[in-house]
């Protein structure tokens, strides 16, 4: 099973694969040799691993022990795990403390829409970052019809507590804390969205492996999506911690 996961890593989700392809292109010198990176809500660890490959010392955290165990197993053959430069721990974002460490960059993808008190978590990110450090974050685009109509989980039991964010909502969240928003861009065009919905529906009905033929069929068509979709599925934001004057 682990061998199959490594061959297909990071899985058949076309949006996750898009994030793996595009977000590391946004990394600057804050993620490189000698830097310290926090992946807050690391999921399958794909962006933790990308940051580590660039020479950073990375801590990936998740509230789900199953994800932590999966990441440790997936990357157990890497020298970073043995050397302590790539670690995964079970940590609740609400429990983050400035005493944890100081980071040059924080990655947080597809997480904030699950968190009711997003402001307090982002304030913790601000405290954990070194002056001038960067926050790389993605969340669903609240203006996309699928996200807008997605059933919400007001009790914060693992689902979405909000439909996502707009560029304006991200600025309203981050700028009063002290971040300077440097970039907002869209991820996930209509072709990727259409294929991913069908892959997901097939997997839910017939099992994870059943989505593989659709996944393979989708690959030749993904280039048809524009780099900046008119109504992207998700939004990416890069924000800098302002240096106090």
pLDDT tens profile 191-236: 999 999 999 999 999 999 999 999 999 999 999 999 889 999 999 9
Whether residue 160 sits in one domain with residue 110? yes
DSSP state of 155: T
Whether residue 76 sits in one domain with residue 37? yes
Please, which pLDDT band fits residue 107 given cuts at 50, 70 and 90?
A: very high
Whether residue 118 sits in one domain with residue 173? yes
Whether residue 117 sits in one domain with residue 21? yes
- Residue 244 pLDDT > 90: no
Whether residue 104 sits in one domain with residue 83? yes
183-194 as b/e, with b when 16 or more CB fall inside 10 Å?
Answer: ebbbbbbebbbe
232's CB contacts (< 8 A; 6+ apart) are: 141, 144, 185, 186, 187, 188, 189
Please, which pLDDT band fits residue 159 given cuts at 50, 70 and 90?
A: very high
Q: How many domains does the chain have?
A: 2
Contact 82, 52 (CB under 8 A): no
> Whole domain around residue 208: which residue ranges?
190-225
pLDDT at 125: 97
Instruction: List beta partners, residue 21.
Output: none
Whether residue 209 sits in one domain with residue 95? no
User: Which residue's entry shows tokens 């440097």?
Assistant: 182
Whether residue 114 sits in one domain with residue 202? no
Whether residue 73 sits in one domain with residue 19? yes
């Amino acid at each position: 099973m682990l061998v199959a996961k490594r061959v297909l890593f990071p899985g058949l989700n076309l949006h996750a694969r898009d994030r793996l392809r595009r977000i590391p292109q946004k990394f600057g010198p804050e993620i490189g040799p000698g830097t310290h990176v926090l992946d807050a809500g690391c999921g399958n660890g794909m962006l933790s691993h990308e940051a580590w490959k660039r020479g950073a010392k990375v801590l990936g955290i998740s509230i789900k022990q199953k994800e932590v165990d999966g990441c440790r197993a997936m990357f157990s053959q890497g020298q970073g795990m043995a050397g302590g430069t790539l670690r995964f721990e079970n940590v609740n974002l609400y429990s983050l403390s400035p005493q944890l460490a100081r980071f040059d960059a924080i990655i947080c993808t597809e997480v904030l829409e699950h968190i009711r008190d997003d402001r307090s978590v982002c304030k913790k990110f601000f405290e954990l970052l070194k002056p001038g450090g960067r926050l790389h974050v993605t969340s669903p685009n609240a203006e996309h019809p699928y996200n807008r109509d997605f059933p919400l989980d007001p009790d914060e039991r693992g689902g979405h507590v909000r439909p996502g964010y707009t560029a304006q909502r991200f600025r309203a969240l981050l700028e009063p804390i002290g971040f300077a928003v440097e970039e907002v861009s869209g991820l996930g065009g209509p072709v990727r969205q259409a294929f991913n919905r069908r892959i997901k529906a097939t997997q839910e009905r017939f099992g994870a492996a059943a989505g593989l033929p659709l996944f393979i069929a989708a690959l030749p068509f993904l280039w048809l999506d524009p780099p900046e979709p008119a109504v992207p599925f998700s939004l990416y934001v890069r924000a800098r911690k302002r240096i106090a004057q």
